[in-house]
């Protein structure tokens, strides 16, 4: 690993020999005999590492270090110290130096330190880059939705992020629960701490307990060494408990205690550990129903449900569909394409009429499929997955979601269906009432009466 190194030392021999030896090793090296010139160079060129003596005439090594850090935190500084001046090395490290090397040293010793320093620098840069990438995924601008329901969700997210309140997110599969949980964490004061996710549904009871709380060596067969659980790993950040309804009753007690006291013990452990975490939960179920049925502790429910966020299914906020289509097109269209592909009206009709049982995730997959099959041409029906090509706009028009309903008023439901059919005919015929009556198989006068009764298309009627 080679890098750009600046050596600052007023001992000429030392400086020149170091410079030439490091150059032989493939480093890009420059050297100067004082900190003032050194600082100018650091400000005008990009150095990875500065190796500097502490005792320098003019500006001291310590001030030099502070100035470098003021200019750019990421530059690595290694201090050279004379024998017996360990104390000053320690204070330099407190000021942000990465390491020190005691004189006299061999070039090999310095090379080892340089290699470690460069490795550290590259890794830190990579971690920062990845963190930014993850954070941007959870920016508010990347949470799409203009429906009243989504606006409400976003308002709650914004107002609750900064507070440390426990949040319970409810929504069907693929509605964006994890995205909302991430947005809360990455807009909170804990944003630089860890965001730890646990899927409570994917793990059986024993594994889940040790996953959440960790275990001591020998706690059970197979526990060959002590392992920290997700709560410990989330310390200083947030923990996201997905499918929280799947936590078995006896473990709900332990979870309740963490929420109340922020303490727990590892499986098989005696020591009580404290944690500082924010808890965000998600569920696809109606948790209060689970409480009534005795599967979920009532006290835990109220602890979790401090701030409830309900994300409605996509079929109940279809006005978000066009925005989401656009968003996913941008995501999947190659960055080398100049413009987004055109989406045919037929495709939009199908996507608006379809019921979206898989919600936003399903729409995302459909757009990815369509982009892959569009071969840089527009998005037509042919680019959609097979099952969507078969969607019949007329019959799907009538589909209703009855899954969450306990009762239905038949008259209201029939009126809804009638409205939908008349709207369909209106769209199909561009509002031509003669043709509308024809394709609906009713006399024109009947159609007119229905339009008035249902208060449809007032402009057409007047
Ligand atoms: N409002 C939105 N804007 C943009 N992308 C979204 C939105 N909602 C969901 N997504 C995307 O849809 C996909 C599914 O979202 P997410 O994983 O958050 O759903 P989920 O509710 O956690 O699903 P599951 O219940 O299956 O775990 C992700 O790729 C996510 O980025
Ligand atoms: Mg999820």
What pLDDT, on the 0 to 100 scale, is given for residue 395? 62
CA distance readout (Å), 406 to 171, 288, 290, 317, 401 = 18, 16, 17, 21, 12
Question: What is the pLDDT at residue 401?
Answer: 64
Over the stretch 132-182, which tens digit does the pLDDT of each residue have?
A: 888 888 999 999 999 999 999 999 999 999 889 999 999 999 999 999 999
CB-based contact 148:320 (threshold 8 Å): no
Ligand nearest to the CA of 317: 1
Residue 8 and residue 18: Cα distance in Å, rounded?
Answer: 11
Q: How far is the CA of 213 from the centre of ligand 1 (A)?
A: 27
Atom of ligand 1 nearest to the CA of 181: 18
Q: Is the peptide bond before 104 cis (omega within 30 degrees of 0)?
A: yes
Residue 459 has a pLDDT of: 47
- From 138, 141, 174, mutation site for ligand 1 pocket: most ligand atoms within 8 A of C-beta: 174
Residue 462 is predicted with a pLDDT of 39
DSSP 336: T
Q: What ligand has the least distance to the C-alpha of 174?
A: 1
Which residues, judged by CB distance below 6 Å to any ligand atom, belong to the binding site of ligand 1? 143-145, 171, 173-179, 284, 327, 360-361, 364
Ligand 1 atom with minimal separation from the 144 CA: 3
pLDDT of residue 339: 81
What's the pTM?
0.74
CA distance 166 to 101: 48
Q: How far is CA 69 from CA 57, 62, 74, 386, in A?
A: 20, 11, 8, 58
* Strand arrangement, sheet containing 76-81: 28-32, 4-8, 49-53, 76-81, 99-102
Using the mean position of ligand 1's atoms as its centre, give its distance from the Cα of residue 163 in Å. Answer: 23
Q: What is the pLDDT of residue 81?
A: 87
Per-residue pLDDT of the chain (462 residues; tens, 9 = 90+): 678 999 999 999 989 999 999 999 999 999 999 999 999 999 999 999 999 998 888 899 999 999 999 999 999 999 998 876 788 888 899 999 999 999 889 999 999 999 999 999 999 999 889 988 888 889 999 999 999 999 999 999 999 998 899 999 999 999 999 999 999 999 999 999 999 999 998 778 888 999 999 999 988 888 889 999 999 999 999 999 999 999 999 899 999 999 999 999 999 998 999 999 999 999 999 999 999 999 999 999 999 999 999 999 999 898 899 999 999 999 998 766 778 889 998 898 899 888 899 999 999 999 999 999 987 788 999 999 999 987 776 666 666 666 667 788 888 888 878 888 887 788 778 788 999 999 999 999 999 988 888 877 654 443
* pLDDT in the model for residue 399: 65
How much is the pLDDT for 406? 77
- Give the pLDDT score at 162: 85
**266-302 pLDDT tens trace:** 999 989 999 999 999 999 999 999 999 999 999 999 9
Closest residue CA from atom 6 of ligand 1: 176
User: Domains in the chain, start-ordered, CATH in brackets?
Assistant: 4-132 (3.40.50.2300), 142-310 (3.40.50.300), 314-397 (1.10.8.60), 410-461 (1.10.10.60)
State which ligand 1 atom lies nearest to the alpha carbon of 137. Answer: 31
């Amino acid at each position: 690993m080679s890098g750009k190194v600046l050596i600052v030392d007023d001992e000429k021999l030392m400086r020149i020999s170091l410079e030439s030896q490091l150059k032989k090793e493939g480093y890009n090296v420059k050297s100067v005999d004082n900190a003032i010139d050194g600082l100018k160079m650091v400000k005008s060129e990009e150095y990875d590492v500065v190796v500097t003596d502490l005792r320098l005439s003019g500006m001291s090594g310590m001030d030099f270090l502070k100035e470098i850090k003021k200019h750019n935190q990421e530059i690595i500084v290694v201090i050279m110290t004379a024998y017996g001046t360990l104390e000053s090395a320690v204070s330099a490290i407190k000021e942000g130096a990465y390491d020190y090397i005691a004189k006299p040293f061999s070039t090999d010793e310095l090379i080892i330190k340089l290699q470690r320093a460069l490795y550290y620098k590259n890794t830190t840069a990579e971690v920062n880059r990845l963190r930014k990438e993850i954070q941007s995924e959870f920016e508010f601008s990347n949470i799409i939705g203009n429906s009243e329901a989504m606006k409400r969700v976003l308002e709650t997210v914004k107002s609750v992020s900064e507070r440390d309140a426990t949040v319970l997110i409810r929504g069907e599969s693929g509605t964006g629960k994890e995205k909302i949980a991430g947005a809360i964490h990455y807009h909170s004061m804990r944003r630089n701490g860890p965001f730890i996710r646990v899927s409570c549904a994917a793990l059986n009871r024993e594994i889940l307990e040790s996953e959440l709380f960790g275990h001591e060596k020998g706690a059970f067969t197979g526990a060959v060494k002590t392992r920290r659980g997700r709560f410990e790993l989330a310390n200083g950040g947030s923990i996201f408990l997905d499918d929280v309804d799947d936590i078995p009753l006896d473990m709900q007690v332990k979870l309740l205690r963490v929420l109340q006291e922020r303490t727990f013990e590892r499986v098989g452990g005696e020591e009580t550990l404290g944690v500082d975490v924010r808890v965000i939960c998600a569920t696809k179920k109606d948790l209060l129903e689970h409480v009534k049925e005795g599967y979920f502790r009532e006290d835990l429910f109220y602890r979790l449900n401090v701030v409830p966020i309900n994300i409605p299914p996509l079929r109940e906020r279809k006005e978000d569909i066009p925005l989401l289509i656009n968003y996913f097109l941008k995501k999947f269209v190659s960055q080398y394409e100049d413009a987004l592909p055109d989406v045919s009206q037929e495709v939009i009709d199908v996507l608006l009429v379809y019921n979206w049982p898989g919600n936003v995730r399903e729409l995302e997959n459909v757009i990815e499929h369509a982009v892959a099959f569009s071969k840089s041409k527009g998005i037509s029906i042919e680019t959609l997955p097979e099952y969507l090509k078969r969607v019949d706009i007329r019959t799907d028009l009538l589909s209703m979601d009855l899954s969450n309903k306990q009762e239905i008023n038949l008259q209201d439901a029939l009126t809804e269906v009638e409205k939908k059919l008349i709207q369909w005919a209106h769209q199909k015929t561009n509002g031509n009432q003669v043709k509308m009556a024809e394709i609906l198989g009713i006399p024109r006068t009947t159609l007119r009466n229905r339009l008035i009764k249902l208060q449809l298309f007032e402009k057409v009627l007047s």
